[in-house]
Structure formats: C-alpha cells, structure tokens
C-alpha cells in the first residue's frame, strides 16, 4: 500500500504538470504519450487493489485523451480544467486512502459527465466550480509518505566507506592513546580522524538535500488559476530547479513563494490591453530561479510587469502613520521598497480575494527570516520587479563565531557576519555616542546602530564602560546593518543546531542552541531578532542633521579584499568573504609531516598550511628552503590568513597583512601564473588577485577533492 501511495502521488503530480504543458502545446504527441502512461499506470494499480472509483476516473480520462491523440479534438482551456479537476480528485482520494486504508465514498458522477461531454465534443456544462483563485486543494497536510527521503545509492555507498575509514581512525587513536609515548603518531591519527569526520559530515548533510523543484512543481497550476481569475495571461518559467536545499527548508519555502507569485500576478503583471499599450507582448512572464552563491541558496522571483511605484509606497506609509512626510522624503529608494513587507501595508485600492489586506508580503519576510534567510527587492518602473531570497544551505550544521557576554558563550551564524571591530578606549570614547537613548558607532564615515548584548539579555547596562574599549561584531540582515557590542570574541567553528524547547521559541534573541567541544551548551543568537531592536542607519542619520553624509552604496561589481605582502615586493588580494580569521602563529607550532605537508597546531586541531609565496614563485626547492628557515627561526611567528573552502580550513601563510580595501573588480586576466586569477591596481599599486582554490590545490589537492590526505 505504501509503495502504491508513493508511486501514485508521483504519477498524479506528473499528470498535472503534463496537462499544463499540453495547454501550451495542445497537439504534442510526446506529451500525450507521457500523460497516457501515467494515467494507465495509476488505473492499473487501482484496479489491482480494488479502488474502483479512482480506476473509473482514470479510464474516463483515457477516453478523452484517445480522441486528442487521434487529433479528433483539441485540449482547449475547458478540457484542460477538467483534467486538472481529475488530478485534484485523484490526489484527495490518495490522501483519504493513506489516512483510512479505504477509498473515499465520493460521488464523481459530475466530473465523469464533464469528461464524457468533453470527449463527445459537446458543450461542456460546468456543474462544479473551478478551483478558486489562490486556493491550494492539492497541498495536503504533511503525511508519513512526505516525511520520506530518496537518497542516491552512490551517496550511501560513499557514506558506508567513510564509516569504515572512521572506525579505522578511531582504532588507531585508541592504540596511540594506550602507548606510553604516542608522540607524532597520535597527531597523524588525529589529523586523519579530523579529515574523515569532515567528509562524513558533508555526506550526511547531502542526504538531506532535495531539489528545490519539489516546491516549484506546484506553481504552474497556481499561476494558471490566478491569472485566469484576474483576467490576465501569464506564463511561468523555471530555472535551476535541480538546485538542492535542505528538506526542511524546501518545505518552509512553499508559503513565501506562493505569496510572491500571488502578488506578482495580481499587482505586477498588467492586463493584456495594458501590456499592448505599453508595447509589451500580451502574455506576462514570471521567472523563478535558484542558484548556489557564497554558501547560500539564492532564490529569485521576477516579473516583467509595471514595477513598484516608490512614490506611491511612500504616500501609503505616510497615510498609515508609519513615517512622517519628512522621513518618507529622506528615505532612500531601496529602503522605501522594503516598506511593502511591513504588517498591514498594502497599496491595493480595494480588498479582493487575492490582495488588499496587507498580509502576504509580511508573511514572506517573517517566514524567510525564521529560517535564517533574508529578502531583497529591486524594481524598475515599467520593466518589472525582482525579489531575491537568500537562504542558508542547511539548518543542521552551520559555521558560527563564538562570542562572550558576562562569562557566557554565544554563537553567531557566520551568514550574517560582516566584520569584527575592536576599539581602543580612546577611540571608543570618540566614536561611540548615544542618540535618542540608543548607542551609535561612527564607522568609516557612516552611522552604525549598536545593540548592546548584555543589555538585551538583561545582564548589563545599556552603555558599557568605555574605559575597557569595545568589541563590536558588525552584522547585516537584509537591508539592515548594525553592530553587536559583546565582551569578547573567540574562534569560529562548525556547530550543530539544536532547536529550542517549544516554550522558548518566542524569544526573539535566540535561534537555537548548540553543544560546544568542551561539552558546554551555547545559545545561538538570532541576528534577525536582534536587528529588529534597532533602526536602520538612515533613520539614525535622519535624527541628527549634522551627521556625516551616508557613504554611497557599493555596486554589485565591488568587493572587499584583504591586502597581503608576499615576498619582498609582491602584493596579493584575497576576497574577504573567504577569510575566517587572521592569526599570528608561533613557528614552533608548525610541524612537517611525511610528504612535505606542513601542519600547525591550531585550537586543538591540525591546520594545513599553504605558503602563498612558494606557490606563486613555483621555484623547485622553494618549499624545502622555507621549511629549513622555519626550523632555524623557532622564535618567529607566521602571519596566517585562515580561509575556508567547503567547510575545510586552510592557513594561507603570507609575509605581512597590510590592509582591507573595497575595490571595483576589473581584473586583467592575461596571466599564466599559478594561483593567480588576474591583476589590478589597488591603492596605486599593482596587486594580484589570489586564486584561493588553485593555491590550495597546488599543495593540498586532497582538501579540494575529498580524497584522503
């Protein structure tokens, strides 16, 4: 029975998708053949298990499709609606069968009559209403079948092999621990255990990943019904449906994407007459896209409609008392667009079944932020609007920065982390001030609102003692950037996210909990919740007329880089997004293993080292000479840039760390040097842009290929 339910649901889903494609290509023989196969399979299994009502529905639809296959009738809109009603009835029957084990006692005579009339080419008398716009009858409650995952056998084979490697590494460590002088053997075994554990973690995470297309396959039907109800013509395009996302996030994204599509059809896309007057094709286009970028999944929903009238948004905000007229005029366009996500905000002239109550867009932001994501909106009048949802790849294991507040440790997800700022006491007294009861930091000519963590947690004053200096973690959540004032920062590490007890989920400051390596529990701070405690930088600036002007926003082509010196004169730029920490490691902590690899003892683990100058110079014997020099200069320290790649940490050894700069990427790529993507001028100096992957691959290829070290 369970196999029947799984298989039949897949076939019904395929039937619905194929019917929608046939509406656009009515005479497509391959699509008709595919539809026949799905219907016939469901009919056969229903007959075998004795579900006669469902079998009769499938049989009646085959009669109509047979005529379409013989080109004796055309699948027009009414016939397509009839087939979609069939899919709804089949899905409801399967849900009833799963819940009770029995076929529902439903009278399908009206639906059978509709199919018979369609097959006879007679006028179709619709005795049942079509699906109302916005209704989702095909979205059933979560069931046992939906809680199952399909995992590639090759992935399970790899997991099994890695578990064998893990057992061998454990046995080796046990032997070393029993030895009176474990020495270097224990370090080598620990390194092996660390590498295998990382690979096991990555494979286990992949078993939870599901294509985001599993959410999207419901939307073509939704868009069709919505457009029909609004008197519009809209087509939906899907790009990147095979992009994988954690299963819990795939399910959580259904409602936000549904509201975005409803909003686009109702508000964004114009009627065919309006589009013709504007010189556009009568059929509007919605596009859903998905891609992996910077450790996040970017989901885009765009339309080619009229765009958002920013002035109208400002007017509505003033009318509803959300802003004063002066504040609305000062508000930058990007922040004015974000007003549409406020509860109760709507520019609709009247309330309809689709819009006007100011609920939908608020739901989008709330639910996306609840899973650790952000929402951005960009609009061009007359050309359309694009919404971008940035979602973490998984909620199970995430990189986080550990911070301390009054002796307790907390974890901050790195997805929201922008930079860490340490202020000396004199600098803190100069740059930190209170404005209308709130702390603000002047950082590089901008006003940065501050959240004092001790005050938010109720364990300290609203303004800590500036005589001790200040440690500020700069966070960015959507369009809002703010600083979190903490007592101290520690290392970054991968943490396993544990949900909070249901009675604590309402606390805005916390997103979960984790167990640290020393066995202590640390609460995970919710950057979104903390960010709601402060206003945006522009609001703070509006409160101070004499404040410094806001610096221009960097364009998409600009990137912040870390500038380093390699060799006597060489300069390289490393993307700051790849940098986890900057360290000065004692040379005595570095050991050379068999094969010439160098490892440093780093926070109880082994950190693979890559000497950037050696890779860029690529001279024979350079590694040996540098290692010999290292052994002589035991008292010296190494400047190390700790970079991350797919969860693996690597130490890039440079001669000196110079500065952080924001540059406009205009690389001259005419280079054949290993480890270099190109060169550019930064701060009036020729600078090479480091290829982090290529540099690491030159020394530690196993870290990038998943092989054993």
pLDDT at 229: 83
Collapse the DSSP code of 512 into the 3-class scheme (helix H, G, I; strand E, B; otherwise coil) and give the result: strand
The answer to whether the beta carbons of residues 601 and 589 sit under 8 Å apart is: yes
Q: Which of 291, 298, 237 is nearest to 264 (CA)?
A: 237
pLDDT classification of 291: cutoffs 50, 70, 90: confident
Class of domain 211-348+355-392: alpha beta
Q: Which helix (H) or strand (E) holds 201?
A: helix 183-207
Residue 280 tokens, joined: 């556009």
Q: What CA–CA distance (Å, rounded) separates 96 from 89?
A: 11
Q: Report H helices in 231-346.
A: 247-252, 254-263, 272-277, 310-319, 325-330, 333-337
> What CATH architecture applies to the domain 397-543?
Beta Barrel (2.40)
Confidence of residue 679 (pLDDT cuts 50, 70, 90): confident
**Inter-CA distances, 517 with 15, 151, 299, 362, Å:** 50, 30, 34, 38
C-alpha Rg value of the chain to the nearest Å: 30
Cα–Cα distance measured from residue 383 to residue 285, given in angstroms and rounded to the nearest whole number = 11
Residue with tokens 């691959």: 697
CATH superfamily of 558-705: CheA-289, Domain 4 (2.40.50.180)
Contacts of 518 (CB under 8 A, 6+ apart): none
What spatial distance separates the first Cα and last Cα of the chain, rounded to whole Å? 47
What is the per-residue pLDDT for 506? 64
Report the helix count and the strand count for the chain, using DSSP H and E. Answer: 24, 29
> What's the rounded mean pLDDT across residues 28-45?
83
CB 693 within 8 A of CB 704: yes
489 by Cβ neighbours in 10 Å (0-12 / 13-18 / 19+) ranks as middle
pLDDT value at 371 more than 80: no
Tokens coding 64: 């109509």
pTM of the model: 0.53
Quick one: which of 648, 578, 573 has its CA closest to 612? 573
pLDDT at 620: 43
Fold match flag (397-543 vs 558-705):
yes
* Cα pseudo-dihedral 202, 203, 209, 210, rounded to 10: 150
In degrees and rounded to multiples of 5, residue 552 shows phi and psi of -60, 145
- Residue 498 is classified by DSSP as B
For residue 616, what pLDDT is reported? 83
pLDDT of residue 646: 61
Distance CA 218, CA 367 (A): 19
**Residue 623 reports pLDDT greater than 50:** no
251-269 residue pLDDT tens: 788 888 888 998 899 888 9
Joined together, the tokens standing for residue 221 give 């039907």
Question: Within 10 Å of residue 7's Cβ, how many Cβ atoms?
Answer: 13
Where in the chain are the domains? Answer: 2-119, 153-207, 211-348+355-392, 397-543, 558-705
Residue pair 157/170 in contact by the 8 Å Cβ criterion: no
DSSP assignment string, 358-406? S-HHHHHHHHHHHTT-EEEEEEETTTEEEEEEEEES-SSEEEEEEEEET
Tokens of 462: 């609203």
CA–chain centroid gap for 135, Å, is 27
Query: What's the confidence (pLDDT) of residue 678?
Result: 85
The Cα–Cα gap between 651 and 597 comes to: 12
Burial string for 71-100 (b: 16+ CB within 10 Å, else e) reads: eebebeeebbbbbbbbbbbbbebbbebbee
Q: What is the pLDDT of residue 270?
A: 92
Single out the residue of 276, 261, 273, 267 nearest to residue 225, CA to CA: 261
What is the reported pLDDT for 349? 60
Instruction: Quick: pLDDT tens for 132-172.
Output: 333 333 333 333 335 566 777 888 888 888 888 888 888 88
Quick one: what percent of the chain has pLDDT higher than 70? 82
Ranges 139-153, 154-168, 501-515, 685-699: which has the least confidence:
139-153
Q: What is the mean pLDDT of the chain?
A: 78
pLDDT digits (tens, 9 = 90+) for 183-228: 777 877 877 887 788 778 777 777 777 888 877 887 888 888 888 8
The answer to whether domain 2-119 has CATH 1.20.120.160 is: yes
- pLDDT tens figures, 311-351: 888 888 888 887 888 888 888 888 888 888 877 677 666 54
- For residues 546 and 533, the answer to whether their CB atoms sit within 8 Å is no
User: With bands split at pLDDT 50, 70 and 90, how would you rate the model's confidence at 386?
Assistant: very high
578 or 87, higher pLDDT: 87
pLDDT digits (tens, 9 = 90+) for 86-132: 888 888 889 888 888 888 888 888 888 888 877 765 444 433 333 53
CA neighbours closer than 13 Å in the CB half-sphere of residue 164: 5
């Amino acid at each position: 029975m369970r196999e029947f339910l799984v298989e039949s649901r897949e076939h019904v889903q395929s039937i619905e998708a194929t019917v929608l494609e046939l509406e656009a290509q009515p005479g497509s023989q391959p699509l008709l053949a595919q539809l026949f196969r799905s219907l016939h399979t469901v009919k056969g299994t229903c007959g075998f298990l004795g579900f006669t009502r469902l079998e009769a529905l499938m049989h009646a639809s085959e009669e109509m499709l047979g005529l379409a296959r013989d080109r004796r009738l055309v699948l027009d809109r009414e016939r397509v609606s009839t087939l979609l009603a069939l899919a709804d009835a089949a899905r409801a029957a399967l849900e009833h069968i799963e819940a009770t084990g029995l076929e529902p006692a439903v009278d399908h005579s009206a639906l059978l009559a509709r199919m018979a009339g369609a097959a006879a080419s007679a006028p179709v008398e619709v005795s049942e209403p079509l699906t109302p716009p916005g209704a989702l009858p095909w979205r059933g409650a979560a069931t046992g079948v939906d809680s199952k995952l399909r995992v590639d056998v090759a992935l399970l084979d790899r997991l099994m092999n890695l578990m064998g490697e893990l057992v061998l590494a454990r046995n080796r460590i046990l032997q070393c621990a029993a030895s009176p002088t474990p020495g270097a053997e224990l370090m080598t075994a620990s390194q092996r255990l660390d590498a295998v554990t990382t690979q096991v973690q990555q494979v286990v995470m992949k078993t939870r990943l599901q294509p985001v297309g599993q959410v999207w396959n419901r939307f073509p039907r939704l868009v069709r019904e919505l457009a029909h109800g609004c008197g519009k013509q809209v087509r939906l395009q899907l790009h990147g449906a095979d992009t994988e996302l954690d299963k819990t996030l795939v399910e959580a994204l259904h409602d936000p994407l549904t509201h975005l599509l409803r909003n686009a059809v109702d508000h964004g896309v114009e009627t065919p007459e309006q589009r013709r007057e504007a010189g556009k094709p009568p059929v509007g286009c919605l596009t859903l896209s998905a891609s992996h970028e910077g450790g996040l999944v970017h989901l885009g929903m765009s339309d080619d409609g009229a765009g958002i009238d920013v002035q109208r948004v400002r007017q509505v905000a003033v009318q509803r008392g959300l802003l004063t007229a002066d504040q609305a005029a000062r508000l930058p366009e990007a922040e004015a667009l974000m007003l549409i996500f406020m509860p109760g905000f709507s520019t609709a002239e009247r309330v309809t079944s689709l819009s006007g109550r100011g609920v939908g867009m608020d739901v989008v932001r709330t639910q996306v932020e609840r899973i650790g994501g952000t929402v951005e909106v960009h609009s061009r009048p007359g050309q359309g609007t694009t919404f971008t949802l940035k979602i973490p790849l998984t909620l199970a294991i995430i990189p986080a920065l550990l911070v301390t507040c009054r002796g307790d440790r907390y974890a901050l997800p790195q997805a929201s982390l922008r930079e860490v700022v340490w202020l000396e006491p004199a600098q803190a007294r100069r740059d930190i001030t209170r404005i209308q009861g709130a702390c603000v930091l002047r950082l590089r000519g901008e006003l940065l609102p501050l959240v004092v963590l001790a005050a938010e947690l109720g364990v300290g004053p609203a303004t800590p003692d500036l005589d001790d200096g200040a440690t500020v973690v700069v966070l960015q959540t959507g369009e809002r950037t703010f600083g979190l004032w903490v007592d101290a920062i520690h290392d970054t590490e991968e943490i396993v996210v544990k949900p909070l007890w249901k009675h604590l989920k309402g606390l805005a400051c916390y997103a979960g909990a984790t167990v640290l390596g020393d066995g202590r529990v640390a609460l995970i701070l919710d950057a979104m919740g903390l960010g709601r405690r402060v206003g945006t930088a522009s609001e703070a600036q509006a409160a101070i007329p004499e404040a410094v002007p806001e610096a221009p926003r960097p364009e998409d082509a600009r990137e912040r880089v870390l500038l380093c010196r390699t060799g006597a004169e060489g300069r390289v730029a490393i993307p700051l997004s790849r940098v986890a920490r900057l360290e000065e490691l004692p040379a005595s902590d570095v050991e050379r293993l068999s094969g010439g690899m160098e490892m440093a003892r780093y926070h109880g683990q082994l950190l693979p080292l890559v000497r950037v100058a050696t890779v860029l110079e690529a001279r024979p014997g350079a590694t040996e000479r540098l290692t010999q020099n290292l052994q002589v200069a035991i008292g010296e320290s190494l400047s190390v840039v700790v970079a991350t790649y797919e969860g693996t940490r690597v130490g890039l050894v440079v001669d000196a760390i110079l500065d952080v700069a924001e540059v406009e990427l205009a690389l001259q790529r005419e280079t054949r040097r290993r480890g270099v993507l190109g060169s550019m001028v930064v701060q009036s100096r020729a600078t090479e842009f480091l290829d982090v992957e290529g540099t690491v691959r030159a020394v530690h290829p196993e870290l990038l290929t998943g092989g054993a070290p």
